[in-house]
A = this chain, B = another copy of it.
């Protein structure tokens, strides 16, 4: 699986945001929703071999992680409002949560936790930390399709998070000469991997979730 881990210092873990003012009321969850689209949706299809983790650290209730699995996800639409509604319903489902991921909706699982719960699931996979000063992804070997890409939010990475990931052996890579939105970073990584491993590595499935 191709794994994208988006770590937000501000995005509300509670789901208590307004659809009418997503950026201000959700702690910039909008940014993660757009990255979710970029990770999972292609024209008229869904990438079945992509796994996305949204680490939500905002709000007073403690952090949570939302995992979206392309193998089983349904009802993903590309527009931001539809994704916001789906994520809000998932976060506010009332399911009693633990440190283990529990599926709340098809392909969408939640846990009470943070980066460590994600790392427990992805142990042993080659990992990359996106950083505008990292080495160019086009020059990286990226020898296997199974890999994990850690991407920060509009504030970057917290120092403790960065240190933890570097200690794990993550390589720092960049996608180009400009500092881009997270969703553009995801798009560029998907494209590089599609080119290396072919579309077969990431088949689009039917039924299509819409263009």
In the docked arrangement, what's the CA distance between A210 and B23, Å? 10
Interface residue ranges of A141-173 to B (CB < 8 Å) = 153-155
Cβ of A86 within 8 Å of any chain B Cβ, yes or no, is no
Name the residue of chain B whose CB is nearest to the CB of A197.
Answer: B177
Contact B178–A42 (Cβ < 8 Å): yes
Interface residue ranges of A175-196 to B (CB < 8 Å) = 175-181, 183-184, 187-188, 190-191, 194-195
Knowing A175-B191, A176-B194 are in contact, say whether A181-B42 is a contact too (CB < 8 A): yes
Cβ of A204 within 8 Å of any chain B Cβ, yes or no, is yes
- Chain A: interface secondary structure? mixed
**Interface range for A:** 35 or more
Copies of this chain, count: 2
Interface residue ranges of A56-93 to B (CB < 8 Å) = 77-82
* Minimum CB–CB distance for A208 against chain B, Å: 10
In the docked arrangement, what's the CA distance between A180 and B191, Å? 10
Knowing A42-B178, A184-B187, A194-B177 are in contact, say whether A154-B211 is a contact too (CB < 8 A): yes
Contact B30–A79 (Cβ < 8 Å): yes
